[in-house]
Structure formats: C-alpha cells, structure tokens
C-alpha cells in the first residue's frame, strides 16, 4: 500500500492555535504529515529556525498521525517532491488568503500536476489569528493566550523580554 504523504509548509513564527487546527484536521487526511518550516526573507522572524522547529515539534507531540517536522529553503514544489508528498496542505482564513493561495496552487499545479493543493478553512473561532498579529499584540503588552498554547505564549514573552534586555 502506498503511503499518503502531505506537506504543510509555513514559517510558524510562532505556531498558533490556527496552525494547530489545520495540522490536526489535515493529519487525518494522510498517513504522514511533513511540516516544512521555512524562512521568509520578507518577514522579520521573532524566532530563529531551530527555535521554530523545536516549538512545532513540541506542539505536535500528541498527534496520532506520523508527523515529521523539517526545515526547508527551496521551491515548495521541489521540496514536496523530495519528501514524497502527493498533497500540499494550506489553511485559509479569509478571502484575501484565498486569492493568494489560489494563484500559488495554480503555479504549483503547472510545475507538477501530480501534487494536489488541498485547502482547509480555519475554524471560525480561529480565523482572525495570524502569527504577525500575535507578535504585534505581544510586543505591545497584550494578552496572546487566546491565540497560542501556554508554552508558545511563554516562548514569545521570553523572546520579547530577551530582545528588550
């Protein structure tokens, strides 16, 4: 039997409850889920790559599906091929997400039609959550406990304190 492998790419800076919702739901669609953690040069990361990898691994530890958390810094479709993925998993929060993701899915299909892009809508309660906003709220002293796990909240607060020191 062929193993169904899915790839969920992102920066996960930090990993939010919205990401975890997509990971939990998406993991039910595949035999193995590879979470590809990348660095987006257009974003200013709060956490370095190793810290984000560790954070994602910790947060995913209790999920039953086989999950592998790996770094990548290549073209997404090439990375999907390299991990044997037949599916790229993407979460959608709003119409603005869809327009960007639809264009990316079209390009990826053009590059390799054998790898499908599957969109999952974020849980309604989690739709407003974005890593960028979580960092902004925390940086301004706001409470982020509704958007991230307690461990991630502690990570974010420690990182922000270290930067101020």
Give the neighbor-by-neighbor strand order of the sheet with 87-92.
66-71, 32-37, 5-10, 87-92, 116-121
93 is catalytic: yes
Q: Which of 86, 146, 92, 95 is nearest to 116 (CA)?
A: 86
- The pLDDT tens digits for 107-152 are 999 999 999 999 998 888 888 888 989 999 999 999 999 999 999 9
- Say if CB 23 and CB 35 are below 8 A apart: yes
Q: Of the residues 4, 58, 81, 93, which is catalytic?
A: 93
Mean pLDDT, 10 residues at a time, the chain of 165 residues: 92 95 96 94 86 98 94 96 97 81 92 95 84 93 95 96 83
Domains and CATH numbers, the chain: 5-164 (3.40.50.620)
Q: Of the residues 43, 74, 145, 146, which is catalytic?
A: 43
Q: Of the residues 27, 90, 131, 153, which is catalytic?
A: 131
70 is catalytic: no
146 is catalytic: no
Q: Which of 92, 142, 158, 130 is nearest to 13 (CA)?
A: 130
Which pLDDT belongs to residue 122? 84
Which pLDDT belongs to residue 2? 75
Q: Which of 138, 147, 126 is nearest to 46 (CA)?
A: 138
Q: Across the strands, what pairs with 118?
A: 89
Q: Of the residues 19, 90, 135, 153, which is catalytic?
A: 19
Which pLDDT belongs to residue 124? 81
Give CA separation, 114 vs 17, 104, 117, 123, 159, in Å.
30, 15, 10, 28, 41
43 is catalytic: yes
């Amino acid at each position: 039997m062929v193993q169904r492998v899915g790839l969920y790419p992102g920066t996960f800076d930090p990993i939010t409850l919205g990401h975890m919702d997509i990971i939990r739901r998406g993991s039910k669609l595949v035999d193995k889920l590879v979470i590809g953690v990348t660095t987006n040069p257009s974003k200013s990361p709060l956490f370095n790559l190793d810290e984000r990898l560790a954070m994602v691994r910790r947060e995913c530890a209790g999920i039953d599906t086989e999950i592998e958390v790996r770094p990548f810094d290549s073209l997404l479709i090439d990375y999907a091929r390299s991990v044997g993925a037949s599916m790229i998993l993407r979460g959608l929060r709003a119409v603005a997400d869809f327009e960007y993701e639809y264009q990316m899915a079209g390009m990826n299909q053009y590059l390799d039609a054998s790898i499908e892009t599957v969109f999952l809508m974020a849980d309604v309660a989690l739709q407003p959550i974005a890593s960028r906003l979580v960092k902004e709220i925390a940086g301004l002293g706001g409470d982020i406990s509704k958007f991230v796990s307690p461990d991630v909240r502690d990570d974010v607060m420690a990182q922000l304190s270290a930067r101020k020191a």
